[in-house]
Amino acid sequence: MAFEKQIEKLNASISAKEEQIEKFKSEVKAFNDLADHENRDLTAEEEVEINKILDEQVPELQDSLEKEIESLEKYEQRAAFAEGGSRKHDPQRVIDLEKERNKIVVPAQARKHANLKAFKGPDAEADAYASGRWLMATIGQDEQSALWCRDHGIQTVKNAMSTGDNTLGGYTVPTQMEVSIIALREMYGVFRQNAMVETMSSDVKTISRPVGGITASFVGEGESGTYSDSQWKNIELVCRKLMALAKMSIELSADSVISIADQVARDIAYAFAKKEDECGFLGDGTATYGGIVGLKNKLLTTSTYTAATGNTAFSTLDLADFEGMVGQLPQYAEANAKWYISKVGYWASMARLLDAAGGNTKTDLSGAPQLQFLGYPVVISQVLNTTTAAQTSTDGLCYFGDLNMAATLASRTGMSMSTSNEVLFTSDQIAIKGTQRFGINVHEYGAASGDAGPILMLSTPGS
């Protein structure tokens, strides 16, 4: 039939155009990946080539593709009518067509002019644009953006549990932005990256972790063995509500939504990650840390190593202090053991000792540092001690061991944002409030006497 031939022709043309669009995506990604790898901005030539692809070639293909998809649907309906309605319905084709129709096309005037920091991957720019339009629709109350979000399946309705007006109600963060914030939070957050993470569907949960094993014993011929039980400890996890506040200009425009979304995602993710690290390492059980008691205030005597007399500053710590920590750590915690220290602390102590060891060449000193010490990885956390002066009887200069064994971070999936255009009325700004729920339990902290736990803390002596 003529209809079938036309349908076959359109399918082939659509497939060819889709392949060409994917090819263009790969070319643009290659330019960006190269610039990222070389830690630079795009060159003028690269900008010209990318603009040609994104401003001319891709939009032209997209327009043609949409027209052909509409024609295909028309011919399929005609073919079905000609066959008396007996033509089989292909649900997958409908899904593909719907997906193609909702594909996000970033206008030329909104395209980024610098590398995105929060959004990553081949669809980074489209994800940032979608998040920006969501911000305009929900925070900026822009009707055109609200329509755009509706057409692309992005929810702009306030949470069902929220109450009140725009100063109180929370909006569900779109998937593109939530994924970006979560990824950045896990990239910035040292504690979340290294502790055991337990996903929760409620604010309170009890889990069990083994603390002792079965005992083996010798038996004589024909004698029965002695039963022993595995020992388990119940650990209560409690999620607390964490809030991050940001400011944004009330004069939102479609031309700047990509950079706005990138900045908001990055700021909120960093705020969440920083607070998680502060609670996990420094928490003292007060309201400042959401009632969480972190390593510094939870580890007991057997999990604390005191530096030698006189070693009261990072600059005076010696190799024996760090070797003593390695020797004190239980062997079961060796496999995943790491050092946790501030950047200042690392360069004033560990890096200094490495440099003094000798054998360095100009190439060694000019190259990037290998963050490893005494055979174990070094993890930098800027919430840890950064004091360079002498500090007597001070806990938490650095930590060493397996954080995954020592602590569990409870994390509730999802986050929401609320806004107010009244709080910062006089400065023409909007207040953005991001919220998440998490909790930390440091449950393996050693004993007052006996064995050390899976992670140790370095302290300075009294003099």
pLDDT of res. 60: 83
pLDDT of res. 215: 66
Per-residue pLDDT of the chain (463 residues; tens, 9 = 90+): 577 777 888 888 888 888 888 888 888 888 877 877 777 888 888 888 888 888 788 888 888 888 888 788 777 777 777 666 544 445 444 445 445 445 666 666 556 555 676 677 777 788 788 878 877 787 667 778 888 888 777 777 665 433 333 334 455 566 667 667 766 666 678 999 999 998 887 788 887 766 655 667 777 777 777 765 556 678 888 888 888 877 666 665 555 667 777 777 778 888 888 999 999 999 999 999 999 999 999 999 999 999 999 999 999 999 999 999 999 999 999 999 999 999 999 999 999 999 888 777 666 666 667 799 999 999 999 999 999 999 999 999 999 999 999 999 998 866 666 666 666 666 667 677 778 889 999 999 988 788 899 999 999 999 9
Residue 310 neighbours by CB distance under 10 Å: 12
Backbone angles phi, psi at 209, to 5 degrees: -130, 140
pLDDT of res. 254: 55
Rounded to 5°, angle at Cα 318 from 333 and 329:
15
Amino acid in the structure at residue 90: D
Q: Which structure tokens are listed for 201?
A: 């569907």
Q: Which structure tokens are listed for 134?
A: 């969501």
250 within 8 A of 429, measured Cβ to Cβ:
yes
Task: Bin 344: left if φ > 0, else alpha if -120 < ψ < 50, else beta.
Answer: alpha
Backbone angles phi, psi at 191, to 5 degrees: -65, -45
pLDDT of res. 250: 60
Residue 388 neighbours by CB distance under 10 Å: 12
pLDDT of res. 419: 63
pLDDT of res. 51: 82
Q: Which structure tokens are listed for 87?
A: 């033509």
